[in-house]
Structure 1
């Protein structure tokens, strides 16, 4: 980014730098001076956009809430004619980082171990997300109790997957994508149609 004399940066680049520090090294790395050095800016620039470090941390939490929780809810409510199509809409989240940021999710969950307020927000977010998935199953005629169990299964499977991303090499997207119709059938009890799978693959043209 081109800098000019007296340039003080923007709120967005401070948040982006904090985001990068968080996902790379954890919450202890999100401190004003290291971020200023990273950006080639001064503390004065930081305080032109944030009242203090806590203000920056709140911006990171807001980013996480909006991107991961907000988009998950929207995907559960997206148009679908069948539960299998609805699940494939949800699966878009796991393949498109712009919709659901798994690295941010992992970092926030680690951060919550040392922050009780964030831990409560995380618990609330988990509840809201599972309820959105439950409502999706209920919309397609599942008994409420079955809808909740299926929602839990979908959600806990993915959160478990995210919890392992730091402990293993990145999985190629092709093989994972090819398994998704089987996951949909396990989660819903119904097979994905050829037409539904073709539309999903068109959204995710990854070689197998």
Structure 2
């Protein structure tokens, strides 16, 4: 009787997303130097052979990790800024939502990539391009609400750089303290009287994302 064909090797039980999630966690916690295939495999409880179902080598993993960062942070922020908004207050509150909901913008990942770029010239170029694209997206957001080009650019930079600085400083304060400043923040960033409906919607979103004000102490 003819011999049966050998069975193909079983597909590994961990997915590409599992490897990326593990790599992302290590990158955020310990830096790019500690993103190692053997270490990640131990964390996932699988052999290195599983890794090669999805990645050619460590460099390919790092490249896909950066693509993941682009999709999670830059693309999401640009999509948010381009979304229809009734008022500039509504648009800026949508921008703020990205920075309180990790599902919309991963602040830890963004900071880790910036740290990585300090020692990687090619990544620094890519990071600068991402920042430029984000600022352009925020600028267009202001321009759609009638701000002249120069003012839209300036307000976009103030808003974006403030938010990055807030995150970099790891400011921690009760949610209620942040929400109490929302009206003043919107006035400062937009130069217009804040829209009460936009503020109410943002408050509801923040409380759902971060928990009741008395329980939150996040920045």
Same fold (TM over 0.5): yes
SS at match of 2:55: coil
**Map of 1:167-206 to 2, 5 A cutoff?**
170-205=172-207, 206=212
**Structure 1: where are the runs of 5+ without partners?**
none
Q: Does 1:94 align with 2:99?
A: yes
TM-score by length of 2: 0.86
Distance, in Å, in 2 between the alignment partners of 1:136 and 1:93 is 15
What are the Cα deviations for residues 54-81 of structure 1, in whole angstroms up to 9, with x where unaligned?
A: 1111111011101111111111112211
**Structure 2: where are the runs of 5+ without partners?**
1-9, 215-219
Q: Does 1:36 align with 2:7?
A: no
Q: Does 1:51 align with 2:56?
A: yes
Structure 1 position 133, deviation (Å): 0.7
Give the structure with the higher percent helix.
1
Count of aligned pairs: 201
What are the Cα deviations for residues 154-177 of structure 1, in whole angstroms up to 9, with x where unaligned?
A: 011011122222xx6x44433223
SS at match of 1:114: coil
What are the Cα deviations for residues 131-160 of structure 1, in whole angstroms up to 9, with x where unaligned?
A: 111111111111111111000000110111
**Residue 30 of structure 2 corresponds to which residue in structure 1?**
25
Over the aligned positions, Cα root-mean-square deviation in angstroms equals: 1.7
Q: 2:182 touches 2:199 (CA, 8 Å); kept in 1?
A: no
SS at match of 2:96: helix
**Bigger Rg, structure 1 or 2:** 2
**Map of 1:124-143 to 2, 5 A cutoff?**
124-143=129-148
**Residue 153 of structure 2 corresponds to which residue in structure 1?**
148
Which deviates further from its counterpart, 196-205 or 50-59?
A: 196-205
**Which of 56, 65, 74 matches 2:70?**
65
Q: 2:174 touches 2:213 (CA, 8 Å); kept in 1?
A: no
